[in-house]
Chain A
C-alpha cells in the first residue's frame, strides 16, 4: 500500500487566479476503534466565479472536506496534513482570529437544513444584520443591507418579512434566508453543503436557479457538496468525485458525464433511473455498499464493488493521472487505456408478470382528516383533510406510482390504507371487501392482503431487537409454528439478499440498504398480496437505490404482488410503475399510463414537476424550465376552485380571464391523450422535454 500518494499531475503551478487551492488535505478522526481517515489526500481547485461540485455517497468524506476548509472540524477530528490555499494564503496556518474574520466575509457556508441553521428566537432581519455587525457593520446600515439581501434572494414582500421569525417562513424561503446570511458580507466563495436535499423538487429548482443567478450577478464562486448527479449536471462547471475519503476523479462536468474514466462514476450514472428511459429493464446496480470509513478495503476503496477489479487494485492505491484537459482519474484499469464497457444489463427476471384479476385495492372518494381525534377535553379540532376525494385501484402484478411533493398527502393516503389513520369519507376496499370502522391497523383483513414498507428502515426497526426477532414477530402473527420459523426466516432473508450470518445483529450494525432489505423481508413474512411502499429508496445512497428497486420489481414479478409505490423522485417512479398518479394538496391532478403521463403530461403541475427535476445529463442543462413560484398551500385552508391555481403558470395568476379556475374545481376527466387530468385547460402547458 502506498502511504502517501503524491499527485502525478503538474503540482499547483503558481496559478494566481485560483480562488481556492486545496492540496493533499487529510482529516483524521481518532476513535476507540482506531484512526478513521475521513479525508485522505484530497486536492482540487476553485476559480473565481466557478461552480465546483463535490459528489459522493454517505461516508465518502465530502462534508468533512467542506468543514476542513473552514476549519470547523471538532474533536476527535483533526486536520493532519495538506494545505488549503485561499488566494495563496494557507487557511490551516492562520490564527483563529484571522480565520474568524475570513469566515463570512470571504468564505461563507450554506447548510443542508435551513431549519436548524436559523435561530428560532431572532427575527430574520436581525440574523442577517448580525452577520454584518460581527464584521464591523453599523447597525442602521446593516438593516438596510439586510433588506437589500432579502430582495436579492427573491423573498417577496421583503420589508414586512424582515421582522418575522424563521417559523413564519416555508422551507424554501428559509433556505433563501440562509443564503442571504451567507451573502451578507459579499463573500467570494460560497460552500453549500447539500443545499437542496431537504427541499422538494419544485422548491429545489427555485433555489438552484437562485444560486445560478447569484453567481452571474455577483460573481461568487460556489463549492457545492451533493450526492445528486442531477444537481451536479445542472449547476457545476467542474466536478470532484469522492469515494472512501479520496478524490477518485475530477474534471469538467461535460467530460465526467460523457466520458467518465472511473468505473464508479460510470456505473453510478448507469444505475440511476432516468426520465427518458423507455421500456422496462432492470437497472445495472452496483453491488455491495459504500465502505465504512473506519474499515476501508486495501488498495482502491472501490475494488470490492468494481466490475473491472484486478489483483493490483486490491494491492495498491491508484493515483490520479491525467485523462484529458483538466480531467484526471484514479484507476489502474482505465489508466492503462482499457475502455469502460457499459455495464451489462442485469439479468432479466424469469418470471413474467401479468396484470389482471380482481383489484387488490380499490379506493373511492377517500377523505382523511388528520386532525381526527385531536383536541382537548373540550371540543374537537377543526378538520384538516390531507387526502380529499381520491380514487384509485391496484391489481395483482401492477404497480401504481404516486408522486407529489411533501405535504401533498401521499403518506397520509398510504397510512389510511393500512388503517393507521382513520377514514373520514369514501371507501377503501381491500381484496374485494370494504373496510369498516372496526378495521384498525393490523386487523386480519388488512394484514393478510396489504403490508407496508417504510421510508426510513432504521426508524421502523426496534433498535433493541435483533433482525431475526423482528422478522420472527411477523411470522408469529401469521401463525407459523415455532418449529418452522427458523427455516422460514432463512428462506426470507435469502430471498431479499440478507446474509443469514447477520441475523443476530441489531439494526444499527447494518447499512441503509441492508436495513431496507430487512424491512422488506418483514413485510413479506406476512405473505401479503399488495405492498404499499412509502418512499422505500429515498433514504438510501444512489448506488444502493438501484439494488432495492431491482429487488422490489423482482419480488413483484415472482410473487405477482401489486404495488402502491410512493416517491417524490419522478424517475424512480417512472422506472417501476405501470400507471402513475400525480398528487397535489390532497387530490389527484393527473392519473394514467406511466408512459403516457411522462411523455405527454396534461396537467400543468405534472409538466412543471418534470421540468423541475434535475437531470443527470449536461446536454439538458440549458433546456427550458418551468419553475413554479411560491409554495404548497396549507391543506387547512385550500384555495377555492382549482387547488393548483395559486401557483399555476397558465392559471388566473398570469391570465386574468381565467376566472373559472377560481370559481370551479376541475374534476378528473379523460384527455385527448388517454390519461385523466383535473384541469380546465389540459395539455396547454407541455413539458419542454417531451
Chain B
C-alpha cells in the first residue's frame, strides 16, 4: 500500500493540499486586495523618498539659501523657512526621522508587549500582576506619559522612542494575553498537552501563530498612533532637537507662519497624513487577510 501510494501522492495534483508556508501565504494575500496594494505603493514611495534623501539633496537639511520665509518658487517648491532653508527638503528629511523612529520603536513595543502579555503562560500570578501594571500605564494619557519620560531622560530622539514603546505596551500586552487565554483552552492546545508535547512547543506551534494575527493588525494601527505621538510631542517642543527636522517639529514651527507661508504647514501635514493613510490601509488589508480562512 505504502509503496504504491508514495508516487501516487506526488502525481496527484491535490488542489485542497495546504500551502507549504500557510502563514506567509495568508499574508501574501494582502497583495490581492486593492487596499493592500495602495498601502504598499504609498508606503514604498515614502520610504524610497526618505532613503534617497541624501542622494537627492546632498546639501542636507540645513543648507541655507539667501531669502528667509520666501514663497514657493521653482527652486524651492514649498518655499523656505525662517532661516532660509528649503521646506521641501526639510520635510523629506523629517519624514526620514519619523520613519526611522516608528520602524524601530513599534516593533520593539510589539515584541516587549507580547512577551509581557504571555508571561501568564509561565506563571498565573505573574501574568495577573503584569496586566495590572499595564493597566496603570494605560491610565496615563499619551501626551502626559511623553512629558514624564522627557522629564526623566531629556528631550530628543531617545525620549520619543521610549514614549512610543511604553505607550504601546498596554495594547500589545492585553491583546497577547487575551489571545493566550482563549488559545490555551482551545481543544487542539489541550490535545497537544495531553499527548505530552512540551509546553514550549505548544506555545510556539499552537498558541503563538493564532495570536499573531490580531497583533500584527494592531501594530499597523499603532504605527499611525506612533506618528501622532511624535507629532504631538514635537509640537509642544519636547521632540527631536533642532536643527534636525521631524514632521511634528516642522508643524510646530510652521504653525507660527501659517498666515504668511501656509505651505510651511501644508507640506509636512500632507506627508504626515499620507504616512498615516498608508499604515491605516495596510492594517485594514492585514485584518482582512488574517480573517480569511
Contact = CB atoms under 8 A, between A and B. Distances in A.
Interface string A482-506: 0000010011001000001110111
B9 A505 contact: no
Nearest to A468: B18
A462 B189 CA distance: 8
Contact of B18 (A466, A477, A522): A466
B5 A420 contact: no
Interface stretch (B88-96, B102-110, B167-175, B194-202): B194-202
A403 to B, nearest CB: 22
Contact of A454 (B8, B132, B191): B191
Given A373-B124, A464-B22, A505-B14, A494 B194 contact: no
Contacts of B22: 464, 506
A197 interface: no
Given A373-B124, A501-B9, A506-B18, A460 B197 contact: no
Contacts of B191: 452, 454, 460-461, 519, 522
B1 A490 contact: yes
A420 B187 contact: no
A509 B206 CA distance: 19
B186 interface: yes
Contacts of A465: 205
Contacts of A476: 197
A459 B188 CA distance: 6
Contacts of A504: 9, 14, 17-18
B188 A420 contact: no
Interface in B1-34: 1-2, 5, 8-9, 12, 14, 16-18, 22-23
Contacts of A350: none
A501 B190 contact: no
B209 interface: yes
A526 B18 contact: no
Interface residues of A, number: 43
B187 A456 contact: yes
Contacts of B132: 377
Contacts of B187: 454, 456, 459-460
Contacts of B209: 464
B23 A526 contact: no
A474 B9 contact: no
Interface stretch (A59-67, A437-445, A584-592): A437-445
Most buried by A among B124, B128, B196: B196
A441 B16 contact: no
A418 interface: yes
A473 B188 contact: no
A442 B5 contact: no
B193 A420 contact: yes
A487 B195 contact: no
A419 interface: yes
B5 A501 contact: yes
Nearest to A489: B2
B2 A487 contact: yes
Contacts of B190: 420, 441, 460
Nearest to B4: A500
B31 to A, nearest CB: 19
Contacts of B292: none
A452 B14 contact: no
Interface string A424-467: 00000000000000000111101100011010100111111110
Contact of A447 (B1, B186, B194): B194
Nearest to A442: B196
Most buried by A among B14, B195, B206: B195
B100 to A, nearest CB: 34
Contacts of A509: 16
A441 B18 contact: no
Most buried by B among A420, A442, A444: A442
A508 interface: yes
Given A459-B186, A487-B2, A501-B9, A473 B193 contact: no
A466 B20 CA distance: 10
Nearest to B8: A501
B195 A451 contact: yes
Nearest to A452: B194
13 contacts: A373-B124, A376-B128, A418-B194, A442-B193, A461-B188, A464-B210, A466-B18, A474-B195, A490-B2, A491-B2, A502-B14, A522-B191, A522-B195
Interface of A: 373, 376-377, 418-420, 441-444, 446-447, 451-452, 454, 456, 459-466, 473-474, 476-477, 487, 490-491, 494, 500-502, 504-506, 508-509, 519, 522, 526
Given A377-B125, A490-B1, 12 more contacts: A373-B124, A420-B194, A441-B194, A442-B195, A452-B194, A462-B206, A464-B22, A477-B196, A490-B2, A500-B1, A500-B2, A506-B18
Name the 4 nearest CB pairs between A and B, nearest first: A442-B196, A447-B196, A460-B187, A459-B187
